[in-house]
Amino acid sequence: MCLAKKPVCVFPSACSGVYGNENLMDEMNFLSVVIPVYNEQDSLPQLHQALHRALGTLSLPWEIVYVDDGSRDESLSVLTELARTDPERTRVVGLRRNFGQTAAIAAGIDHAQGDVIVLMDADMQNDPADIPMMIEKMAEGYDVVSGWRKNRQDTFITRTLPSRIANGIISRVTGVRLHDYGCTLKAYRREVITGFRLYGEMHRFIPAYAGYVGARIVEVPVRHHPRRFGQTKYGLERTLKVILDLFTVKFLISYGHKPMYLFGGPGMAMMALGSALLLFLAVRRVLTLVSVFESPFFPVSLILVIMGFQSILMGLIAELQVRTYYEAQRKPTYTIRRLLNVEPRD
């Protein structure tokens, strides 16, 4: 059952050609559904049953990885019982305290076995019945299938409107245009979400990271139900955190390999402007005998030259740090989609 009559292809050039007609279901060997949990004791039994009904229709093996993010209710006890009664399918990762949704998702991915990772919330607003549709879409050759809560069942002023504004800003800054970055329900091939660590509220930027390494991304409408259990954990203050994290994401995506371009360009511009002002003052001194030191432009020009020089030095330091980061881990500055008649190197 597919709700997405017209899926939105984020990178049209990547959604045609050899991959568009190639059924890649055989390349998906195992599915892991990763679910961060925080104070969701009432929804967990129904969620687990719904997951079994939805995932039971799939032809590939699967597991459910619950990550208890330091819940203060009986969520961990409920998860312990689910793991006891369903040991073959259920994995539970219990964190010592509440580290936040991003850390919980990172822990779930680290402990999941699947080569396909599906993320979703535990509050039953995401519908597990959408997962088979997303897997079918992924089998068409996509690396990321992103859920879009087209008919969102949340308060417009405090939740939907700020989310729309944030999605527009994120799409423009990252270049990966999605209607709904905030929808947790997303499916990923593991290889496009490895190689970077998640901090802050950065789980919502995973599609942007995946797009950076060349992932084929498609967005599909998914169901969104009104909240029936518990209380929302997020408010308007989360928008500010997302915007602050966006600065980090933009830097890593656009300048992670070449920080000198970020620091050196403005540095050279400031030095050029400061030097031009000094030249102007020198010429005026010769022509009009006006003292250079009495002009307010003199300290401004010196400040510009010094700041420009410092900015270039910061770029050099950043370049050294980037090289240390990659070379210490023997991490390449490129990603490979597949190899043909080539043995992978260790």
Residues near 287 by beta carbon (within 8 Å), at least 6 away in sequence: none
pLDDT at residue number 4: 39
pLDDT digits (tens, 9 = 90+) for 214-244: 889 999 999 888 877 666 655 556 667 777 7
Residues 266-307 pLDDT 10s: 999 999 999 999 999 999 888 887 788 888 889 999 999 999
The pLDDT score that the predictor gives to residue 182 is 84
The pLDDT value recorded for residue 252 is: 80
What pLDDT is attached to residue 3?
38
Please, are residues 2 and 133 in contact by the beta-carbon 8 Å criterion?
yes
- Asked if residue 91 lies in contact with residue 67, where contact means CB atoms within 8 angstroms, the answer is no
The residues of the chain scoring below 50 in pLDDT are 1-6, 11-23
Identify the burial level of 62 via C-beta atoms within 10 angstroms of its C-beta, where 0-12 means exposed, 13-18 middle and 19 or more buried: buried
Report pTM: 0.75
Per-residue burial over 156-191, b if 16 or more Cβ lie within 10 Å, else e, is: eeebeebbeebbeebbebbebbbbbbbbbbbbbbbb
